[in-house]
Structure 1
């Protein structure tokens, strides 16, 4: 590889250098690169590569690190981060001039687009100052009538924007998605938040930018392609009803704006979302269809290829120019050019050249999951598919090719998939094997034909559209039925980088070993057939020599060793190292509560799940997003999967208020749960009906906890229920709209298995002062129990956490779960004052993000995600 494929190695070195620069500080990245360079002399000594190539590889690695660091410095924002930290809204308010630099997207009452500023003026400035920077603009519409005004905004349009400068949201939980880091891969450091469409005005004075700005000229040209895409989307919307319209738009044009969320979710669970992302599959169909059409028109081979070369960039732009389609377009153009010139270079070299060109344009592409999956899967298909085809029986070529492509794509994408998404479906291979050929060779071409026919004469397209709808119905039925099969989704904790590297090494060794074993087996069988039909003195000499040069036992041992290595890697990745240190995580779910307990034996219990409170009136339904933010779906469940929580010993709902219960719907749907614990009261609401219905449908036992109940989760974890008091009605469930003073209060004691050191935390839900007083009347309770940590009740509301309560428990530390800038003013200054008066240090999720308590052999350790979070 090092000697025969230099461009491939150069591309790998460049990617490694970029990741060094992204993951480490500048000095550490250069030191890491130099450390890797020191391995190259050994490669030369072993004659794996020449000294000249070794020097080239070393220079590439160092250049990549330097180039990434330089590009980060070049992308530094005009406004320092301190400008947005701690500043009031009045101080941040400003006016920007510039032009729109992306398609304008509306989702409910929010309109969003990229904006290239040319100058800006704050309220304290007398004159505008030049400020060349790409910003993300988010406009909140006040009235439904503003939708029409927002629809007039186009890419390349010069506008003036009055808004507020804001830092993108940062990850506030350990291992969570960081919107700030995501936007930086697109060179965006700031969000301008705009209140009302009237704050975006058309300046229309083209002379202000005109000839000086090539980017503006490019955006004006791209606006015509956006218009064409909108026109084509409109044709598809008239041809197809939902969900077919959104699905076909995603399939043909790469647009997901109209895609039904439930359909996308089902495709995602089965690993089929790549069908909806324009990539090599779609480009291949596009190129093949064009070449076939030109052949029918009796165009020459050279003319056909030339025409396709010109049309591929147009197709890339029309479908959104995502990393996958850019990569596929560049590779297709290189392959067609080679075909036209009479030579066709190695596919890996073409892929590597495309990768280098994209990273030279923007090195941050290497950090995007779509970019990584696109190149890794394509490289795997080029390298491994020919070998896997030889391992399969002598079936028809279309069948063996389809099986090989599906197997390789699944195996190669697996570590990246579990790294980013923490799950994969056991049905993914079957779903891809059945549906990808059906969609790519049936639905996609027919859908494209219907679109082209509609562009000529719409009634002509309707018979084709009818066929596509029938095919879509079949696809949706299969996907829906597969997604309903329980127990097929495997939750996988986020693996280490070293595990991913070893996985690919062991996969390569396994495939090579299988090919060698298969070749040896076939030679042996051929030899036996020949010796059975001919005498020894007429045996072919080449067969005799070949068999003597390979030892079947050695080949079989190699195969068994590679299989054992691969199996060990899979096992260790699935069973990530388990610590005997128990943890209690106060998850940041905004204005709500969610607490995850992991015991020393690896069992998990979730107490509350947060929830989004919706005060919207029926007349404001137009404000609803296509996929509304739901804290359980977007925060709690991804964190549970990321941490390898495959099942929950219990889900505890302290009380039925939405900010504690709302997120549990997604938890019960996606995480196997052994018991559902509640406080013995019922509060009627649509979300509570749905939550209990889900528990019943999944046959999860529903248990009531009250004062005196205890549960030893394992030998090292004990939970005592201190409130509510036992009901005289036994198992009867009472109705209560005021749930706070019915909250379950838990005393959790953790013991370390080795040192036997203990620590305890008091979890209070939304208990208010009356409930605290009722508990304090039972003096035996707090006199016999002690706590290290107090989870302050009701997000720090002034109705809880009285001085008497603090005096009774005397915690060493308090933690408050509250949302940033919440409308209730939590935590209240009176509560903070009482905690300060009692000399109790306070940690807050609105300032510190997630707070974790870990019981180690030497005692309780505390860590927080941030020292301070600013809005």
Structure 2
């Protein structure tokens, strides 16, 4: 119990990062210790204080805010296999590397730090173990912040990444020829041995040494859509497979031979001796993966179980899990901020609990169902095909792909590597077929809270030995079935401006309808729409009725491919937005007492920003204007026809080429929203535009500072409800290191 309390306290300290619980615990302990000797309070205090302390140490190590975008000269070493891609940028093909460095040597930022740097069109491709002198533009770890989607600031803190940036100059001084360099050479050798299988070249280096450079975006997406992405990230599953194979070999071969040669070892059972090759193999595989966080925690769990059996110490499942988790958090406390940690430990716990009440064949079927539900709640990825995919792929990778790939790589046997590549090709064929089946539109993603409740109900359902009235289990469905957004009255509207970086994506909701205006940017292998907008639609159970893509630039239209396709689609540049109709000035419609009117363009033939659809939304409680990226010239054409509005979404992300003083005088908005990237290279929003807004007394809301913004007009007394995500849901890692009482 003390281990679980200490573990829970460390986790709470890392996630909360505030001191008032520590003070409360100290007061309670001081008041009650002399009576009841409640030593568990002491463990709570120690664990929580340790978690808060480690959180602030991690935050202090990050690049200071005043050094953001600074160009710094450093010494460094490449500590992992660089991710190398060839991509088309600025009209030509060029190399790009993403490199993890250990750097030091800056007076402004003393100490050693891990940084991730992108190198575009480098004069020389770096390799693992290279010692360098470098000049880089560094940025504070900061990502987009929406209701759904990745939180890069938290994930970087969990992984120990103190800054990101761009490599400007590099001078290679040598190579340490360590394990990272050996992993890279092994990866290249594997690629050569399976040159006849492009899929094998892409996947096998990822399975053997964690090098995912060769994975194309479409291949990675196929693994994600079908719930098989965990097979490509060397994690607890892979370590368990290798340890299991070598435990079995040790039990059958290694242990009997040792006992025959060394009779003194007969005091130990063959099951005990089998742990020696199992742990050695697991440690070796973790080293191949660069001792990444998932492999380290899996290794710790194996060591805990092995030591308990070796010393013949009876240890329950709960105690073993608590001890393993406590050791992991003592070594890497900020791993508590990683969802994958809880997915791994949760999987082990469910496996153990399910084996008490189900046979092994049922376990193979039930475990993927449980993990699919967990993935939906934690990562907001709903993959109904995951149970079937894992039912096929996990045995395939366990029996054939992973053993053949590792033995082939270590023994340099081409035929084994080709056998593994054949298994990979079969798995990709299965995933492609499953991915084409799609996801039913009526199947809502569970939110984090409803996902936890569903997992609790599923756990009770699958474990009949737990005393619980089964007739109450349907109530676990209620949070999932009632997670729709708060209803709007007739005439009310709500605008959600997603944090998409340098781009625009807006959703306007009325009582019964939803409009998407622009879809944000995309990049090779993903988009903001896939990360944040699609989960938002699925969790809230909303259906898109119409989409307007202002024009064809990527920062407005890139995410369209990841949004529902069977809806009415309009654009100012239909020739650049496939499947769209021309949105022409004068088009209008009405939803639930709210009118929508297209004000621009008035004619075809306009190009790029000038062709943007300008949309006016008007209801009894207020109005909003969305001008896309039109410039001052188009604004002058509209003057005299524009009504006043309550809210203005600034044109062209706040560029100086838009939002003229004449437009502001005409519209007289009380609020303005700027959708721009944090400290973007275009200097949006421009200081001159901000000056005009300030002079007009307009309140400015900015996605680069506020994250996702929800603006609701209407309700009782026509109250405006404005939610700024970085303020309403701020976490300690979204700001500088500060000892917070509350």
Measure, in 2, the Cα distance between the counterparts of 1:23 and 1:445: 38
How far apart are 1:97 and its partner, in Å? 4.3
In the aligned structure 2, how far is the partner of 1:635 from the partner of 1:575? Answer: 16
Q: 1:525: which partner in 2?
A: none
Q: From the superposition, tell whether residues 14 and 656 of structure 1 become closer, same or farther in structure 2 (CA, over 3 Å).
A: same
Residue aligning to 1:804: 662
Q: Which residue of 1 aligns with 2:505?
A: 594
Q: Deviations over 1:1-48 (max 9, x none)?
A: xxxxx3xxx44423432343234352333367689999x99xxxxxxx
1:141–1:197 Cα contact (<8 Å) kept: no
For residues 653 and 285 of structure 2, the distance between their equivalents in structure 1, rounded to whole angstroms, comes to: 52
| 2:89 corresponds to | none
How big is the alpha-carbon RMSD for the aligned residues of Structure 1 and Structure 2? 3.8
Following superposition, the deviation at residue 136 of structure 1 comes to 0.6
Compared CA separation, residues 324 and 809, structure 1 to 2 (3 A): closer
Q: 1:427 aligns with which of 379, 382, 385?
A: 385
Task: Report the counterpart of residue 588 of structure 2 in structure 1.
Answer: 710
**Contact persistence 2:519–2:559 (CA under 8 A):** yes
| Superposed displacement of residue 174, structure 1 | 4.8
Q: 1:78 to 1:371 in 2, by over 3 A?
A: closer
Determine whether 1:110 maps to 2:97.
yes
- The Cα of 1:249 is off from its aligned counterpart by 2.6
Q: CA deviation at 1:605?
A: 1.5
Q: Is residue 59 of structure 1 aligned with residue 42 of structure 2?
A: yes
Out of 186, 199, 222, which is 1:232 matched to? 186
Is this contact kept in 2: 1:595–1:607, CA < 8 A?
yes
Residue pair 1:420, 1:494 contacting (<8 A) in 2 also: no
Q: Which residue of 1 is the match for residue 362 of structure 2? A: 403
Match of 2:615 in 1: 746
Q: CA deviation at 1:67?
A: 0.8
* Alignment of structure 1 residues 647-726 onto 2, 5 Å: 647-667=543-563, 671=564, 673-679=566-572, 681-683=573-575, 688=576, 691-692=577-578, 695=579, 702-713=580-591, 715-725=592-602
Query: Using the alignment, how far apart are the partners of 2:500 and 2:480 within structure 1?
Result: 33
CA contact (8 A) 1:15 1:366 kept: no
Q: 1:58 to 1:657 in 2, by over 3 A?
A: same
For residue 351 of structure 1, report the CA deviation from its aligned partner.
2.3
Contact kept, 8 Å, 1:247 with 1:259, in 2: the verdict is yes
1:568 and 2:482 correspond: no
**Equivalent residues, number:** 699
Contact 1:135 1:192 in 2 (8 A): no
Q: 2:169 matched to which residue of 1? A: 196
CA distance 1:415–1:133, shift in 2 (3 Å): farther
In structure 1, what is the Cα distance between the partners aligned to 2:66 and 2:686? 27
Distance 1:491 1:231, change over 3 A: farther
Equivalent position SS for 1:451 = helix
The counterpart of 1:133, out of the listed 98, 112, 115, is 112
* Distance in 2, Cα, partners of 1:95 & 1:256: 29
Query: Whole-Å Cα distance in 2 between the matches of residues 806 and 421 of structure 1?
Result: 42
Q: Which secondary structure does the structure 2 equivalent of 1:387 belong to? A: coil
Query: What TM-score do the two structures reach when normalised by structure 1?
Result: 0.72
Q: Pick from 515, 519, 525: which aligns with 1:609?
A: 519
- Residue pairs, 1:146-545, within 5 angstroms: 146-147=124-125, 150-151=126-127, 154=129, 157=131, 159-191=132-164, 193-198=166-171, 201=173, 224-240=178-194, 241-294=197-250, 295-296=252-253, 299-300=257-258, 301=270, 304-341=274-311, 345-389=315-359, 401-411=360-370, 413-414=371-372, 416-453=374-411, 455=412, 458=413, 461-462=414-415, 464-488=416-440, 492=444, 495-497=447-449, 499=450, 502-512=453-463, 514=464
- Verify: 1:857 aligned to 2:726, yes or no: no
Structure 2: 5+ residue stretches without partners: 86-94, 259-269, 737-742
Distance 1:37 1:429 in 2: 48
CA contact (8 A) 2:710 2:724 kept: yes
**Residues 511/132 of structure 1: CA separation in 2 closer, same or farther (3 Å cut):** same
Q: Is the 8 A contact 1:423 1:490 kept in 2?
A: no
- Note if 1:815 corresponds to 2:673: yes
* Gapped regions of structure 1 (runs ≥ 5): 1-5, 42-50, 123-128, 205-219, 390-400, 517-554, 613-624, 696-701, 728-733, 752-757
Distance 2:312 2:722 in 1: 66
Shift of 1:568: 3.2
Distance 1:242 1:282 in 2: 22
Bigger relative contact order (CA 8 A; separation at least 6): 2
- Inter-partner Cα distance in structure 2 for 1:309 and 1:81: 41
CA distance in 1 between counterparts of 2:487 and 2:28 reads: 31
Corresponding position of 2:106: 120
Contact 1:180 1:189 in 2 (8 A): no
SS in 2 for 1:197: strand
Select the structure of larger CA radius of gyration. 1
Write the deviation string for residues 729-769 of structure 1: whole angstroms up to 9, x where unpaired.
xxxxx5x3624333222111245xxxxxx011011122334
Contact 2:583 2:598 survives alignment (8 Å) = yes
Does the CA-based 8 Å contact 1:649-1:673 persist in structure 2?
no
Alignment-derived partner of residue 531 in structure 1:
none
